[in-house]
Each structure stands twice: as C-alpha cells, then as structure tokens.
Amino acid sequence: MKETAFTKYHINLGAKMAEFAGYHMPIEYSGIRDEHITVREKLGVFDVSHMGEFWVKGPKAFNFVQTLTSNNVADLLPGKVQYSCFPNGKGGIVDDLLVYKVDDETYLLVVNAANIAKDWNWCESHATEMGLEIGKDFYNASAEICQLAIQGPLALKAMQKLTSASIEKMEYYSFKKCDFAGIKDAIFSTTGYTGSGGCEIYVANEDGSKLWDAVFKAGEEFGIKPIGLGARDTLRLESGFCLYGNDINDETSAIQAGLGWITKFVDGNDFIDRDVWQKQKEEGVSPRLKGFILEDRGIPRQHYKVVNAEGEEIGEVTSGTMSPVINKGIGMAYLNEGYWKVGAEIFIQVRNKNLKAFVAKPPFHKRE
C-alpha cells in the first residue's frame, strides 16, 4: 500500500487504518459520530493526499480543458475553482473533478484517488490528439503533492494565524498561492467535501510535516481534531455531494445525477457528449438521482432496493448512512419517474422489511 506524507501521524495517533484507493488511510480516530460533529461545529483535519493532481499548461490548455469537461471553463477567472466532470463519450462519466484556473494558460485538475490512472489515461489520449506534449503541457503531479483539508465553521479563522495573506473572507471555490506556515507557494483553496466550509491546502510532500504540525498548533485553541474517511463519507452524504463509484459512474449521466448545473450548453462549450446530455435535459431522462430520509428506524445502504407502497421496485440506493445530526437514516437513490417530487413516499428494503421514507432535497442537516 502507498503511504502519504501524513501516514506516520495517523498511526501514532491510533487511527483505525485501512486500504483505500491503494493508500494506507485513516478510517476513524475518536469515532465517526464524534468526528462528524466536530467538523459541523468546530473544525477537523482530513488527509486527502491520495487525490490526483494534473497540470495543464500552454496555449492549448484552455481548449483541452473546455473539451474534456462539462462545465464552461470560459466562465473561470484566475483564482477561481470549478466543479465539473469528464463525460466519457458514451453518455456516462469518467470522473468528477475540480478545475483550478491559475491563468489563461495554466490549469490544475484535481481528480478522485481511485480514478487517477483511469483519468490520466483518458486525458492523455486526448492530450496527444490535441497536440499537448505529455510531461510538459500535460503533467501528472499526483505523487509529488500532499494535501490537507481543514473543514468546519472555525477552519478559516484558525488558519488565518498561519499566513499574512487574507484568507478568512475568501469566496467559496476560490484559491490563492501564498506563503503558509512558512511554506512558500502553497495553494490555499476554499473548497471541500463536507458542506461546513473550510479549506484545502496543497504543498510539496517534503513540506508535509511542517504543514501538519502548524495546522494542529493553530487549531488547538478551537478544538481541532484529525478526521478519518468514515466521517468524510457521512459529511458528504449529509450535504448531498456525489461519490464516484456510488452515485455517479460510467453508466450514469450528469443530467440523471442532478448535475445539470455543471453541464453548460452555451456557445463555444463543445464538450464531449454535449449533444447526448443536452437531449436528456430537453426531453427528460429516467431514472434520476434523488435524496431521501427514512421515517422508520434503519440504515440504508448501497444497492438496497427501493419500492412503492404496492411493493413494486422503483429504484436502488446508491449511498446511505445514519445522519449524526438529524439522527435518521439518509441516502440517495436512482428513482423512476413519478417519484421525484420532494415529499414523495417511497420504501427502502432493509433486511426483508420495507421501511418508509420520503424524497428530500439535501443538505439533510440544514432542514427547517
């Protein structure tokens, strides 16, 4: 198994460790519920060094990123970040990703850990066709970069102590290069996967120890804690964020997954699968991904069947968990047409029981 620049810290802190995307990663420390609440109320630190980073540079960079991703890169200003996806040419999704614009000829693509090789191969084949030089114009920096995500309502306040750059009031989905914790040219990004605000910080592997020590020292007075992948999953699901391999994959379209907002059908954005997805948006497509909350007691899990009041199968759960905030089972499922309206009654089959649920729009933890 691969290790990150922070693996030794996880082990020394007694984290429950397991393999994830080929890496030796922490699943939990003090317990998923405690870690989850810490991020919702204070701040917590995730090691996300297993994510992939691809640099795209040169005069052909914009055209490359615009063609391969579904969002409109022309809308991006330097210092801004965009959530997007790679359409796969068959109506599905290669992966979802973040697109960072440094300048008109420099972009950073941040991809999912489990898909680094798959994404690289997909992008590399198109890069070659479009005249980008591999290793120069298109470069895989995944093995050189480590990353910490400091998430929670107190994250930016705590991290401001470590830089002279103004970061506390940064807009969501923006970034800047700055000296951080004595590390030159760190990438400080107000992004994350929890729905509780905060930041993600990218530095070279050799600066990892310096970053870890400084972050925990700065956050000590605010109750900072290390957080594992278990709480990362409950936090993202409570916020309604898709997980590749569960909620989206090579067979699902962005339109089906409720990601129409990252598919921009505007002039000049001739991305792969544009025609297919535009037709789906105009004519409709079924099934579609919807959130739900259980009324009956139980925990929904991936692949559980969804039925209607008559017991007819109408869908399948893609992600499910117990929400530590509302203390109810929550999840997402692909549902047939007729069951998409908020409040629609559905039933989740859990251990041969049909548990009553209703369709709900995330985030689930911010309900009135």
Secondary structure of the chain in HEC code, one letter for each residue: CECCCCHHHHHHCCCEEEEECCEEEEEECCCHHHHHHHHHHCCEEEECCCCEEEEEECCCHHHHHHHHCCCCHHHCCCCEEEEEEEECCCCCEEEEEEEEEEECCEEEEEECHHHHHHHHHHHHHHHHHCCCCECCCEEECCCCEEEEEEECCCHHHHHHHHCCCCCCCCCCCEEEEEEECCEEEEEEECCCCCCCCEEEEEEEHHHHHHHHHHHHHHHHHHCCEECCHHHHHHHHHHCCCCCECCCECCCCCCCCCCCHHHCCCCCCCCCCCHHHHHHHHHHCCCCEEEEEEECCCCCCCCCCEEECCCCCEEEEEEEEEECCCCCCEEEEEEECCCCCCCCCEEEEEECCEEEEEEECCCCHHHCC
* pLDDT of 367: 62
**348 bridge partner residues:** 306, 355
CATH architecture for the domain at 7-48+143-238? 2-Layer Sandwich (3.30)
Decide: 68 and 119 in contact? Cβ < 8 Å. no
Rounded CA separation 220/23 (Å): 28
* pLDDT of 153: 98
* pLDDT of 366: 82
* pLDDT of 368: 52
Among 1.10.287.3510, 2.40.30.110, 2.40.50.140, 3.30.70.20, what is the CATH number of 286-366?
Answer: 2.40.30.110
Domain locations along the chain: 7-48+143-238, 52-140, 286-366
CATH architecture for the domain at 52-140? 2-Layer Sandwich (3.30)
Rounded CA separation 225/211 (Å): 15
Backbone angles phi, psi at 56, to 5 degrees: -120, 125
**pLDDT tens sequence for the chain (368 residues):** 999 999 999 999 999 999 999 999 999 999 999 999 999 999 999 999 999 999 999 999 999 999 999 999 999 999 999 999 999 999 999 999 999 999 999 999 999 999 999 999 999 999 999 999 999 999 999 999 999 999 999 999 999 999 999 999 999 999 999 999 999 999 999 999 999 999 999 999 999 999 999 999 999 999 999 999 999 999 999 999 999 999 999 999 999 999 999 999 999 999 999 999 999 999 999 999 999 999 999 999 999 999 999 999 999 999 999 999 999 999 999 999 999 999 999 999 998 899 999 999 999 998 65
Q: What is the pTM of this model?
A: 0.97
* pLDDT of 352: 87
Decide: 226 and 29 in contact? Cβ < 8 Å. yes
